[in-house]
C-alpha cells in the first residue's frame, strides 16, 4: 500500500487535498518537522485508516495565516480510525481496533505524562513541552486530515472501543473525543462548573458549544452563551442554553435580566486570540473576551480558558499582539481573586468517561455542535464555510464510514 491523500495548508486562506506518502513507523522529514525529530523511530506506534477527522477552529488560525505554519503542512489533529498496522513494541492495540486519538501526543514516560499533564509532554517536541498532529511548532507529527496516519506511543495514547459495531454506530459522536468535547469539558471543569452553577460561555463556535453541553452535563443550573453570530446562538438555544447577542452590547445587563444579578459563578473563554470587539462590525480586540469574562465572573470565581492564545501571530493588531502580549486587566482578576486556567486540554484525563457518556446516551455531542460529515475532497469548501461563520462542525470522511449519517 503506498497511496495516501491529505489536506494541506498552501497559503493564507487556502488548503488543498494532496497526494502524500503512506505513513511509516518513523517520523520523516517534511513541512514543519523539527529537525531533531527527523528519523525518529516509532515501533511503539500504529498506522490508522482514518474513519473520521474534524476541521477545528485551531486549524483555521493557521489557514488564515495567523501563525508561522509552513506551506504544505498536513493539517488535522482530531482523529478517529481503525488500526491497520502495529509496530513491534505495541502490546495492547491490534489491527481491526477502532480507536480515538487524543490530539496531544504523549509519551507516557515523562514526569508530566505520569502526572496526567499529557498536553505538555516533555519528550515529543524538541522545541517546547507539548506535541500535536498537523500543527505548527508542535514537533512536526503529520496531521490526520488524511486517508491514513501514524500514531506514536499507541498503547498509551489510544482510547480503544471494545465493541466495534457500537463504536461505528456512534462514530459521529465519538469523533468529538479527540479534542473538541474534552476541550470544552476541560474548560467547564477548570471553571469550577458543578451542580447548580451559573455559567457564561464566550463563543458559540464548536468548542463553545461543547463547553456549554459539558456544563449542562456537569449539572449547571443556567448556561449562558454569548456570540456575535446569530446562527451559532440559535444552535446553542437548541439544546437548552440561554444566549446573548453581543452585537447588542450590555453583557452584564443581559446576565442580570436572566439571573437577577449581573454576574455568574463561572466563565469559559472559547474564543481565543482572534476575538473581536463585542459590537456589530467591530475589528479585532484580542483581550476583549478575557476582560469581559473577568467583569462578569463573581469574586472568587474561576475562568476556564480553552480558547487558543499563541506566542507568535503575524496578523496581530499591533506589535504586542504579534508576540502574544495582550492588554489584559489582570488587576481586575486579582482584585476579584479569580482563578484562571489556560493551556491545552489533557485529553486523556477525560476521554474515557466522556466516551461512556456518549455510548450510554447521556450526551449527544454531535447534535450539540451540529456535526456535518463531508468527503475529504470537500475539505476546501468546509474550511471556507467554517471561516465565514457556518454553525457546523465539519467532519471529514475519507473512506465513506459516515455515508448517510447525521447527528441525532
Q: What is the pLDDT of residue 2?
A: 56
Angle (nearest 5°) at CA 263 between 260 and 266? 125
Provide the number of structural domains found in the chain: 2
Grid coordinates representing 127 are 522545541
Please tell me whether residues 201 and 323 are part of one structural domain: yes
Please tell me whether residues 17 and 133 are part of one structural domain: yes
Please tell me whether residues 50 and 175 are part of one structural domain: yes
Please identify, among 294, 312, 341, the residue that sits at the C-terminal boundary of a domain.
341
Please identify, among 317, 341, 365, the residue that sits at the C-terminal boundary of a domain.
341
Query: In the 8-state DSSP scheme, what is residue 376?
Result: G
Question: What region does 272 belong to: left with phi over 0, alpha with psi -120 to 50, or beta?
Answer: left
382-404 burial string, b = 16+ CB within 10 Å, else e?
Answer: bbebbeeebbbbbbbbbbebbee
For residue 10, give the nearest of 56, 57, 58, 65 by alpha carbon.
65
Q: What is the pLDDT of residue 406?
A: 81
Q: Is 339 helix (H, G, I), strand (E, B) or coil?
A: strand
Does 291 map to a domain?
A: yes
Does 230 map to a domain?
A: yes
Does 406 map to a domain?
A: no
Q: What is the pLDDT of residue 315?
A: 86
Mean pLDDT of residues grouped by 10 in the chain (408 residues)? 88 96 96 96 98 96 93 98 98 98 98 97 96 96 98 98 96 98 98 98 97 98 97 97 93 96 98 82 85 97 94 86 88 96 96 98 97 97 96 97 86
**What does the alpha-carbon distance between residue 387 and residue 366 come to, in Å, rounded to a whole number?**
20
Please tell me whether residues 383 and 359 are part of one structural domain: yes
How many CA atoms does the CB half-sphere of 201 hold within 13 Å? 37
Count of all residues that appear for the chain in the document: 408
Please tell me whether residues 97 and 199 are part of one structural domain: no
Does 109 map to a domain?
A: yes
First to last CA, the chain: 36
With contact defined as beta carbons under 8 Å apart, do 96 and 164 qualify?
Answer: yes
Beta-ladder partners of 98: 82, 161
Please identify, among 301, 317, 341, the residue that sits at the C-terminal boundary of a domain.
341
Please tell me whether residues 63 and 131 are part of one structural domain: yes
Does 86 map to a domain?
A: yes
Please tell me whether residues 158 and 43 are part of one structural domain: yes
**What does the alpha-carbon distance between residue 102 and residue 193 come to, in Å, rounded to a whole number?**
23
Q: What is the pLDDT of residue 314?
A: 87
Please tell me whether residues 117 and 212 are part of one structural domain: no
Please tell me whether residues 13 and 162 are part of one structural domain: yes
Please tell me whether residues 165 and 196 are part of one structural domain: no
Does 393 map to a domain?
A: yes
**What does the alpha-carbon distance between residue 241 and residue 131 come to, in Å, rounded to a whole number?**
34
Query: In the 8-state DSSP scheme, what is residue 308?
Result: -
Supply the CATH number for residue 350's domain.
3.90.180.10
Please tell me whether residues 237 and 169 are part of one structural domain: no
Does 133 map to a domain?
A: yes
Q: What is the pLDDT of residue 281?
A: 67
Does 405 map to a domain?
A: no
Look up the domain containing 212 and give its range.
192-341
Query: In the 8-state DSSP scheme, what is residue 193?
Result: -
Supply the CATH number for residue 270's domain.
3.40.50.720
Please tell me whether residues 204 and 259 are part of one structural domain: yes
Amino acid at each position: 500500500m503506498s497511496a495516501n491523500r491529505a489536506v494541506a495548508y498552501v497559503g493564507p486562506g487556502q488548503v488543498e487535498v494532496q497526494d502524500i506518502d503512506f505513513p511509516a513507523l518513523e517520523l520523516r522529514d517534511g513541512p514543519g518537522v523539527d529537525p531533531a525529530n527527523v528519523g525518529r523511530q516509532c515501533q511503539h506506534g500504529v498506522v490508522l485508516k482514518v474513519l473520521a477527522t474534524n476541521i477545528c477552529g485551531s486549524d483555521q488560525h493557521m489557514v488564515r495565516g495567523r501563525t508561522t505554519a509552513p506551506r504544505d503542512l498536513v493539517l488535522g489533529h482530531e482523529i478517529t480510525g481503525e488500526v491497520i498496522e502495529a509496530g513491534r513494541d505495541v502490546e495492547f492495540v491490534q489491527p481491526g481496533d477502532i480507536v480515538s486519538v487524543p490530539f496531544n501526543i504523549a509519551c507516557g514516560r515523562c514526569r508530566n505524562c505520569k502526572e496526567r499533564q499529557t498536553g505538555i509532554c516533555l519528550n515529543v517536541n524538541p522545541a517546547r513541552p507539548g506535541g500535536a498532529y498537523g500543527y505548527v511548532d508542535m514537533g512536526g507529527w503529520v496531521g490526520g486530515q488524511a486517508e491514513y496516519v501514524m500514531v506514536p506511543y499507541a498503547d498509551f495514547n489510544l482510547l480503544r472501543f471494545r465493541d466495534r459495531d457500537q463504536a461505528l454506530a456512534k462514530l459521529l459522536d465519538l469523533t468529538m473525543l479527540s479534542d473538541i468535547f474534552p476541550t470544552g469539558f476541560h474548560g467547564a471543569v477548570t471553571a469550577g462548573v458543578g451542580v447548580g452553577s451559573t455559567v457564561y460561555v464566550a463563543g458559540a463556535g464548536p468548542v463553545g458549544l461543547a463547553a456549554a453541553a459539558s456544563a449542562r452535563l456537569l449539572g449547571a443550573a443556567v448556561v449562558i452563551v454569548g456570540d456575535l453570530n446569530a446562527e451559532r446562538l440559535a444552535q446553542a438555544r437548541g439544546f437548552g442554553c440561554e444566549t446573548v447577542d453581543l452585537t447588542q452590547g450590555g453583557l452584564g445587563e443581559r446576565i442580570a435580566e436572566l439571573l437577577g444579578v449581573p454576574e455568574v459563578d463561572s466563565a469559559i473563554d472559547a474564543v481565543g486570540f482572534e476575538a473581536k470587539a463585542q459590537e456589530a462590525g467591530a475589528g479585532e480586540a484580542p483581550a476583549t473576551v478575557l476582560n469581559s469574562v473577568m467583569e462578569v465572573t463573581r469574586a472568587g470565581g474561576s475562568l476556564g480558558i480553552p480558547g487558543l492564545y499563541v506566542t507568535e501571530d503575524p496578523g496581530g493588531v499591533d506589535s504586542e499582539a504579534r508576540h502574544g502580549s495582550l492588554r489584559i486587566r489582570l488587576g481586575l482578576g486579582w482584585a476579584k481573586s479569580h482563578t484562571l486556567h489556560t493551556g491545552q486540554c489533557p485529553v486523556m484525563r477525560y476521554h474515557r468517561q466522556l466516551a461512556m457518556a456518549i455510548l450510554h446516551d447521556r450526551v449527544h455531542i454531535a447534535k450539540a455542535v451540529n456535526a456535518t460529515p463531508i468527503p475529504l475532497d470537500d475539505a476546501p469548501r468546509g474550511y471556507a464555510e467554517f471561516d465565514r461563520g457556518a454553525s457546523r462542525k465539519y467532519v471529514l470522511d475519507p473512506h465513506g464510514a459516515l455515508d448517510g449519517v447525521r447527528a441525532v
